[in-house]
Amino acid sequence: MNKIVLITGATSGIGLGCARKFAENGDRLILTGRNEHRLAEIGKELTDKGAQVLTLAFDVRDREKATKYITGLPEDWKTIDVLVNNAGLALGLEPEYEGNLEDWETMIDTNIKGLLTMTRLIVPGMVERNHGHIINIGSVAGDAAYAGGNVYCATKAAVKAITDGLRIDVADTAVRVTNLKPGLVETNFSNIRFHGDTGRAANVYKGIKPLTGDDIADVAVYAANAPEHVQIAEVLILATHQASGSVIVRK
């Protein structure tokens, strides 16, 4: 049966990969992101391929707008089956004692508080219907800190704890909860981390074939379509020559 899938941060990277893969699966899509123009382009791309798409341009850090858009969904879009909490970012790679406080606030507000806002707005309906699936995009960085990762790693460790806690909270229902933990994925992630320094961003992927947004989307679609009695609780997805968040063999 086709699902209604809401994906945050759907304008690029893993979010865009998820949008395309769930569309190929025949699901109806609610796509959110900050870039209204890019959202419209993606909506048209997928609609032209036969998908049903609703786009909502807002930043998950803005709780008031998020609430307005989610509570104001048309009736035939309200019963969200899958929530993909993908919106997130890393900023900077400085030692913690030299970190930028604004960067820290942006990461915490997006990666943790934005995820919590969307969860709080959507999961009560899933619990009421006794049906639904939350897929949180965590990271290998949530398992162990790496040099310069400090606050970003902390936010992804929080995603793991929040995901595990939610799974406990809904264990008496048929709602499923998944934490996907990607390693090195080539998206605009590093470009954002280094504030647009494309040369520095390119070096992150030098000498190794990294994952793509589509690779992570494949796992998300698989988890969402597992039999109802199967809960894919957590998946760590790494490039072949990556052993952990800090061990990468470059050739």
- Closest of 42, 73, 39, 50 to residue 2, by C-alpha: 50
The two structure tokens encoding residue 245: 């968040």
Residue 84: beta bridge partners?
A: 7, 135
Task: Considering the candidates 69, 146, 152, 205, report the single residue annotated as catalytic.
Answer: 152
Whole-angstrom Cα distance, residue 5 to residue 26? 10
Whole-angstrom Cα distance, residue 140 to residue 94? 19
Residue 152 annotated to the active site: yes
| Count of Cβ atoms closer than 10 Å to residue 163 Cβ | 26
- Closest of 2, 191, 184, 5 to residue 81, by C-alpha: 5
CA dihedral 84, 187, 66, 20 (to 10 degrees): -50
The two structure tokens encoding residue 57: 């341009």
Radius of gyration of the chain (CA): 17
Q: How far is CA 237 from CA 67, 152, 182, 188, in A?
A: 32, 18, 5, 18
Place of tokens 């942006």: 106
Q: Which residues are catalytic?
A: 152
